[in-house]
Amino acid sequence: MNFKNGLFITLEGGEGSGKSTILTNIIEYLEKNNYEVVKTREPGGVRIAEDIRNIILDKKNTNMDGKTEALLYAASRRQHLVEKVIPNLKKGKIVISDRYLDSSLVYQGYARNIGMDEILNINLFAIDNTLPKLTLILDIDPKIGLQRINKNSQREVNRLDLETLEFHNKVRKGYLKLKELFPERIHIIDASKSIEEVTKDCIEQIEKLLNE
Ligand code: TYD
């Protein structure tokens, strides 16, 4: 593949999907193979984007309107894009981002019921057509995902857990719907397998692109 314009890849998935471990493994593999890679995450160490994110996460803002939140995510995304993603793509690098547009489509659009189309619209304004060439979605049953992060899985399931589970089931469904919207760039990876196998499956998809 011609890298003159860089290569933009994003990684998506719900809680306990192993996203950050897999990302580290992918980067290690690519660097070993002498590719210039930039690992980033939204908001990705860009100060303005982080400041915006802090407003979203601030406990005193629990009454934040859902659309306000969606607009702030889009604003944060844009700053990260213009300050970090695009400049590195222009240098011909592989940029891999932990979460991007699809997180908003799924979390705000689908799981929080604002609507995927609406969220896509505001984000198209923010991203000026910069879509990833490849998006890997680490798919796992949220029950297993939550168990993975909740070491103390023996304890009784409470009301909050059930709410959480329902929300994450919705997130999973939203990600699977995305595959129908963007069948070309999105690949679903079975994240219930071992870390080694999931890493291998992800690298296989990236290799396909590199060898195009
Ligand atoms: P974070 O602490 O970054 O952890 P992780 O990526 O490992 O889950 O949490 C990100 C949270 O923010 C996650 O619950 C998804 C949410 N989020 C959105 O709702 N919309 C977005 O556009 C983005 C980027 C994240």
* Residue pLDDT, tens place only, 89-113: 999 999 999 999 999 999 999 999 9
Q: Point out which residues pair with 95 in neighbouring strands.
A: 8, 38
**Identity of the residue numbered 68:** T
Rounded CA separation 59/64 (Å) = 10
CB atoms under 10 Å from CB of 148, counted, come to: 16
Q: Ligand 1: distance of its center to the CA of 56 in Å?
A: 11
pLDDT at 5: 83
Q: Ligand 1: distance of its center to the CA of 13 in Å?
A: 9
Sole residue written with tokens 């995304």: 77
How confident is the model over 3-16, as pLDDT tens digits?
Answer: 778 999 999 999 88
Supply φ then ψ for residue 12, to 5 degrees: -135, 160
Half-sphere exposure of 107 (CA within 13 A, CB side): 18
DSSP string over 28-50:
HHHHHTT--EEEEESSTT-HHHH
- Atom number of ligand 1 nearest to Cα 104: 22
pTM of the model: 0.94
Angle between helices 66-80 and 47-57 (to 10 degrees): 160
Q: Which of the residue ranges 1-10, 90-99, 133-142, 152-161 would you say has the lowest mean pLDDT?
A: 152-161
pLDDT at 45: 79
Rounded CA separation 57/52 (Å) = 9
Q: Ligand 1: distance of its center to the CA of 201 in Å?
A: 23
More confident residue, 145 or 136: 136
pLDDT for residue 34 is more than 80: yes
CB 25 within 8 A of CB 34: no
